[in-house]
Structure 1
Amino acid sequence: MSELSQQEKLEDLPGVGPATADKLMENEFDSLEAIAVSSPSELSAKVDIGEKTAINIIDAARKEADIGGFETGNKLLEKRANIGKITTMADDFDRLLGGGIETQTITEMYGEYGSGKTQIAHQLAVAVQLPKEKGGLNSNAIYIDTENSFRPERIKQMARSLELDEDEVLDKIYVARAYNSNHQMLLSEKARELAKKIKEEGEKIKLLIIDSLTSHFRAEYVGRGSLAERQQKLNKHLHEVIKFTDLFNAAALVTNQVQSNPDAFFGDPTRPVGGNILGHMATYRLYLRKSKGDKRIARLVDSPCMPEGESVFTIGEEGIRDA
């Protein structure tokens, strides 16, 4: 759809004239869906309109885009037919997740250093480019790198093992290095702009990777006095990620660091950083840990539809595979 027809659609909303439509377009509220999933405070601040006007615009956009109302379970089941799955390249790992990494959700993977988080992130950036019959979505990926851990050489190894064109695979992964938490949050917003541009060019972005989600937040907000501010910013960041997955029917994979719980006298004292905010926002939570040699264990800790369980996989030169 052309920019002109998009603007005309926006001008049909109550309280939106040509000037307001221009501001909406300039601030990436360039579709009914983008407006429908925004908050009144966000729309009001970015477009410089009253919050009451913002509420009316959002309500009208939700009605036009058929977003946000009550629906029957069967209607939702029909919509879930559009959900895609990205293979991890290990059949048993895919089984644990009900077929792979799911679109329109956040999947969190946490574990100690060397547990395989970044390796899986690299593998998924390659796997999402595969055709659907091979477990991919025939799409591109965005990779936000916060720890300088992205390695194009590793991508080439994984692509080679799947007999894919190595340079073409790299061309379909858009990488940005985040230097602090504010930059990381800005990049998650820019990801929406990039995905829209790619879509206009006839391609698709179906995977957003943030490796790792909490590294900068953990380093910059130290001590209990800054915990509330950290969690508030993390919450805002995750809402932007969810918005991305909804708008583009994309999957989000976030890796997470861990810390030791000194109060745990029994069992594994390891717990993920991010607290309840991340716990509630992630649809699937996976705990990764090392095993013997090149083997790793993935434990599904939380899922709305899959039972808790474990899967053993290997990390080799070719990538992630069954043990």
Structure 2
Amino acid sequence: MAKADYEEEYEEEEIEVPKGKKGNVNLEDISGIGPATAKKLEEAGFKDLKSIATMAAGELAEIAEISDAKAKKIIAIAKSQAELGFETADKFLEKRREVGRLTTGSKVFDKLLSGGMETQSITECFGEWGSGKSQMGMQLCVNVQLPVDKGGLGAGALVIDSEHTFRPERIVQMAKAKGLDPVKVLKNIIIARAYTSDDQMLIAEQAHEMIQGKNIKLVVVDSLTSLFRSEYTGRGTLAPRQQKLNRHLSTLHKLADLNNLVVYVTNQVMSNPQMFFGDPTRPIGGHILGHSATFRIYLRKSKAEKRIARLIDSPNLPDGEAVFKVTEDGIGD
């Protein structure tokens, strides 16, 4: 059936959810989503109401081959049934109690972040090469497998590796230092290598489906911006690059929120030649990334094994610095 015919047949159909279904609704329970449409959505990784409720109307319309008007109606119903939308601040506070904390491996670094990296958030670390960004990502892959009482989340990790910096040998070193079985630790880390920005975005979009039923509480993207930076050069490509980056960040935010997990991203830097005083180092990604990242941390090298972490942006924490070390055993004080 042609798309136009499909839309004409269902355009005027009233989209509703049968009574008594609230809180336990399958996609096909929503009038207007038939078996074929439900199958398309499930194959694209959208298997529950909450994932439908957080979709953009254009995205749903494209995947399900329906009109934008019908997509908006379906999303509105899904939001209602998933209990998304307006809520009082006290209820939002109750949801915030579900937020977990993941240790960095350094007590002073954890203190800077009020206990570690938050779930339901994106934490960005940017800095020059050798500042410890990738080391932190690998350390988090080990730490997330620690029990909660030791600063972990008792779960596995997913790594999107765009710079080919992930080293399982380094994971073995860090795992042994934490008293963990390296073989088990490696089996609980899923690696996905990205070769283009489109590839990177697709992996992130498929991640929600992949981690369903799996105990994954950490997603690492190392690096977030390198492929976008290499593929989009010159001022003429800035707008499309930022649009794609914005969509990618939106996907990562949904991953963090819907699955109550930590999203850790690394970012490259550039030097501002117009700076005559102060530090000319600036992160890539512009205002899109600056506004989207929940926590922004500037890492820089110091003497020998020491590194300095500076928290430069947070919705609820003051700016500050912490000195930590990167040793053979991993991240520490």
**Partners of 1:8 and 1:303 in 2: how far apart?**
37
Q: Could you tell me which of 31, 35, 46 is aligned with 1:29?
A: 46
1:117 Cα deviation from its structure 2 partner: 0.2
Correspondence list, 1:182-197, <5 A = 182-196=198-212
- How far apart are residue 13 of structure 1 and its match? 1.9
1:141-220 maps to which residues of 2 (within 5 A)? 141-196=157-212, 199=213, 203-220=214-231
Give yes or no for the alignment of 1:290 onto 2:301: yes
1:223 aligns with 2:240: no
Gaps of 5+ in 1: 1-5
CA–CA distance in structure 2, aligned partners of residues 22 and 273 of structure 1: 39
Mapped partners of 1:7, 1:303: distance in 2: 36
SS state of the match for residue 63, structure 1?
Answer: helix
Report what 1:268 is aligned to: 279
- 2:106 maps to what in 1? 90
Q: Which has the larger radius of gyration?
A: 2
Q: CA deviation at 1:244?
A: 0.9
Which of 126, 139, 147 in structure 2 is aligned with 1:110? 126
Q: By how many angstroms is 1:260 displaced?
A: 0.5
Which residue identity is paired with 1:237? H
Aligned residue pairs total 311
CA contact (8 A) 2:125 2:298 kept: yes
> Which amino acid in 1 is paired with 2:41?
L
Write the distance in 1 (CA, Å) between the matches of 2:45 and 2:139: 31
Which residue number corresponds to residue 312 of structure 1? 323
2:62 equivalent in structure 1: 45
1:12 aligns with 2:29: yes
Distance, in Å, in 2 between the alignment partners of 1:100 and 1:13 is 41
Contact map agreement 1:7 1:22 (CA 8 A) in 2: no
What amino acid is aligned across from residue 10 of structure 1 in structure 2?
L
1:118–1:255 Cα contact (<8 Å) kept: yes
Structure 2, unpaired ranges of 5+: 1-22
Cα distance in 1 between the residues matched to 2:314 and 2:278: 21
Report deviation, 1:10: 1.3
Q: Tell me the SS of whatever aligns to 2:265.
A: strand
Q: Which moved more, 1:49-58 or 1:22-31?
A: 22-31
1:23, distance to aligned residue in structure 2 (A): 2.3
What's the offset of the Cα at 1:176? 1.4
TM (norm. structure 1) is 0.94
Distance 2:158 2:129 in 1: 23
Local SS of the residue matching 2:97: helix
For 1:119-130, list aligned pairs within 5 A.
119-130=135-146
* Partner amino acid, structure 1, of 2:174: M
Q: Secondary structure at the match of 2:125?
A: strand
Deviation at 1:204, TM superposition (A): 1.0
1:235 alignment partner in structure 2: 246
1:64 aligns with 2:84: no
SS in 2 for 1:193: helix
Counterparts of 2:185 and 2:259, CA distance in 1: 20
What's the counterpart of residue 10 of structure 2?
Answer: none
SS at match of 1:222: coil
Let me know the Cα RMSD of the aligned residues.
1.3
Task: Tell me the residue number matched to 2:16.
Answer: none
Question: Greater shift after overlay, 9-18 or 80-89?
Answer: 9-18
Query: 1:89-143: CA deviations, max 9, x gaps?
Result: 1111001111111111110000000000000000000000111000011011000
Normalising by structure 2, report the TM-score: 0.91
Runs of 4+ aligned residues of structure 1 deviating over 3 Å after TM superposition are none
Residues 27, 47 of structure 1: 8 Å contact kept: no
Is structure 2 residue 66 aligned with structure 1 residue 55?
no
Cα distance change on mapping 1:7 and 1:96 into 2, 3 Å:
closer
- Residue 8 of structure 1: CA displacement? 6.2
The Cα shift of 1:19 comes to 2.8
Deviation at 1:147, TM superposition (A): 0.9
